Structures are given as C-alpha cells and as structure tokens.
C-alpha cells in the first residue's frame, strides 16, 4: 500500500474510535484499575476494539499493538500502534483534553501518525512547529510525573519540572500526550517532555512532530528509539537547552 493509502486507512480507523469516545461522553464509567494512580474504562476497551477491527479490514497484512491489549512485535515489519483513549482520567472527569492516537511503525521506526482531539475539534497528521528566539520565549509541556514511579528518577523529573517552570515563558501539564504532541506540531508549544516512552503514547506523535520540523530524541539528546527511557521533542532553537536541562534526569536511575 502507498503512504497515501495507509494514511487514509489510519484516518478511517480513527474515525471509528472517535465515534466511540463521543458516544461514551457523559455516561457513567466504571473504572478498571491498571496501576497506582491509573485506570481504564470500557470506553478505552471499545475504542481499541474499533481501531483494531477497522485496521484488520483495511490493512490485514499489518500487525496491531494497542495500549490495552498489546499485540505484535514492535521491532519487526509494519505495525499499527494505538492509544485508543489518551488522557483517560481527563475523559472520565469531563475534561476535553484527551484523544485518539494511531501511529505506524516500520521495522521499529515511526513513519506515520494521526492524532484526533475530538472535544477540541482538532485532528492532525502533520503540521509546522513554531520556533522562537530562546528558551525564555518558549512554552514547554511536560507529562505527568507519576509515570516515573518513585525514587531518584521521580525526584529528578520533579526538579526538572520546577526548572522549566521557572525559565520558560510558560509551562503546561495537561495529562495527555496526544494534546502535547498536537500542540507541538501545530505551534502552540515549543517543547515537550514525557515521563516515559510508552510506544502507544509516542509513536504517532514522534512521526507527526518530526514531519513538522521538531527535533525528537531521548532525554540525553540521542535519536529516540523504542528502547529509550523517555521522550523529548522541541523546536530546533529550544531542543538543545531542554536536553541540557534534562541532564540529571537522563543520568538518573529509574525507580
């Protein structure tokens, strides 16, 4: 299949997932525990099922990996990687800061992504980052610290959060990687750093941000791979200083 055909298949699958999110909006949702400070709902499961079914029909030769059900080997061949409801806690508590993320890996490399923020009326599969003259003019977003677990890594992450908050023009923490990737790719923020490198939260955004002119790396500034400990992305003029600020985090031991 051509890139255009793959992109069309991704958009059609995301359409199905967005319908699930819209239909479940405002309904009472049972919370299914996943880990400390984290849960999923029946909407997460239904959205993932809708994505998987749509892609199995349109691209049966391509593997599938979802946040809730896992799936294909991420390092071999073509694999769709889906977060069926990114920002579950936001969604469950009525916040519009949530979305659907679908990316495509080819031998472990992100090549295509689609992100939809249905309650903000935004969908993106590309964009253009907006650069600034320096870190003090940048808006920087960071993911929720709870993903770091505890110990030395969490402490380093929290210190970095304070440093960014002090030095950047503005700081954002919105509880959704889908929102941060979209804002970076469309110019609303100039940098972002996630507290992890979960593929379902990163693959789609990595492909979109890179195609939009962002520099996408791990905490230490090395090329971002599936095995990296965390994801960092920024406009070119901001990236170096954000990596420098994350030096302690890059060298810390996971909790």
**Which CATH number fits the domain that encloses residue 243?**
3.40.190.80
For residues 110 and 141, membership in a common domain is answered with no
130 within domain boundaries:
no
99 within domain boundaries:
yes
45-86 pLDDT tens trace:
999 999 999 999 999 999 999 998 889 999 999 999 999 999
Please report which residue ranges of the chain form alpha helices under DSSP H.
3-24, 42-58, 88-92, 151-167, 177-185, 199-211, 236-245, 247-251
202 within domain boundaries:
yes
pLDDT of 151 reads: 82
d(CA 83, CA 162): 29
For residues 194 and 144, membership in a common domain is answered with yes
For residues 117 and 139, membership in a common domain is answered with no
Please report which residue ranges of 25-127 form alpha helices under DSSP H.
42-58, 88-92
Half-sphere exposure of residue 54, counting CA atoms within 13 Å on the CB side? 24
Domain boundary among 64, 95, 124: 124
For residues 112 and 153, membership in a common domain is answered with no
Total residues found in the chain within this entry: 255
Q: Domain range holding 86?
A: 3-124
Bridge pairing between strands 78-86 and 63-66: parallel
pLDDT of 157 reads: 93
| Cβ pair 12, 54 in contact under 8 A | yes
169 is written with which tokens?
Answer: 């023009």
Domains held by the chain: number: 2
pLDDT of 33 reads: 66
Residues pairing with 32 in the sheet: 40
209 within domain boundaries:
yes
CATH (domain of 115): 3.30.540.10
pLDDT of 34 reads: 62
For residues 23 and 111, membership in a common domain is answered with yes
The C-alpha angle with vertex 203 and arms to 91 and 138, in degrees rounded to 5, equals 75
For residues 243 and 167, membership in a common domain is answered with yes
For residues 109 and 182, membership in a common domain is answered with no
Q: What is the CB neighbour count within 10 angstroms for residue 153? A: 21
For residues 108 and 7, membership in a common domain is answered with yes
For residues 144 and 115, membership in a common domain is answered with no
Residue where the block lists tokens 């195609």 = 211
79 is written with which tokens?
Answer: 């694999």
168 is written with which tokens?
Answer: 């950047």
| Cβ pair 184, 215 in contact under 8 A | no
Domain boundary among 76, 102, 124: 124
d(CA 194, CA 201): 9
For residues 119 and 15, membership in a common domain is answered with yes
pLDDT of 35 reads: 59
The model's pTM: 0.94
- Which stretches of the chain score pLDDT less than 70? 28, 32-39, 147-149, 254-255
Domain boundary among 61, 89, 124: 124
pLDDT of 1 reads: 85
For residues 109 and 18, membership in a common domain is answered with yes
pLDDT of 69 reads: 87
255 within domain boundaries:
no
């Amino acid at each position: 299949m051509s890139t255009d055909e793959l992109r069309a298949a991704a958009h059609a699958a995301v359409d199905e997932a967005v319908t699930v999110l819209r239909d479940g909006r405002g309904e009472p949702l049972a919370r299914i525990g996943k880990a400390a400070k984290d849960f999923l709902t029946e909407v997460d499961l239904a959205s993932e099922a809708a994505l998987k079914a749509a892609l199995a029909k349109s691209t049966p030769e391509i593997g599938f990996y979802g946040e809730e059900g896992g799936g294909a080997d991420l390092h071999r061949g073509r694999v769709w990687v889906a977060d069926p409801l990114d920002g579950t806690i936001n969604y469950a508590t009525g916040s519009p800061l949530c979305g659907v993320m679908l990316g495509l890996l080819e031998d472990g490399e992100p090549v295509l992504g689609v992100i939809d923020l249905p309650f903000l009326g935004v969908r993106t599969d590309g964009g253009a980052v907006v650069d600034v003259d320096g870190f003090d003019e940048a808006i920087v977003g960071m993911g929720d610290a709870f993903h770091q677990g505890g110990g030395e890594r969490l402490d380093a992450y929290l210190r970095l959060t304070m440093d960014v908050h002090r030095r950047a023009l503005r700081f954002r923490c919105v509880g959704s990687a889908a929102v941060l990737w979209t804002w970076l790719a469309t110019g609303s923020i100039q940098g972002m750093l996630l507290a992890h490198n979960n593929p379902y939260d990163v693959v789609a955004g990595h492909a979109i941000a890179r195609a939009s002119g962002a520099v996408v790396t791990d905490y230490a500034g090395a090329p971002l791979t599936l095995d990296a400990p965390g994801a960092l992305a920024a406009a070119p003029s901001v990236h170096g200083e954000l990596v420098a600020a994350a030096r302690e985090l890059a060298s810390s031991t996971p909790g």
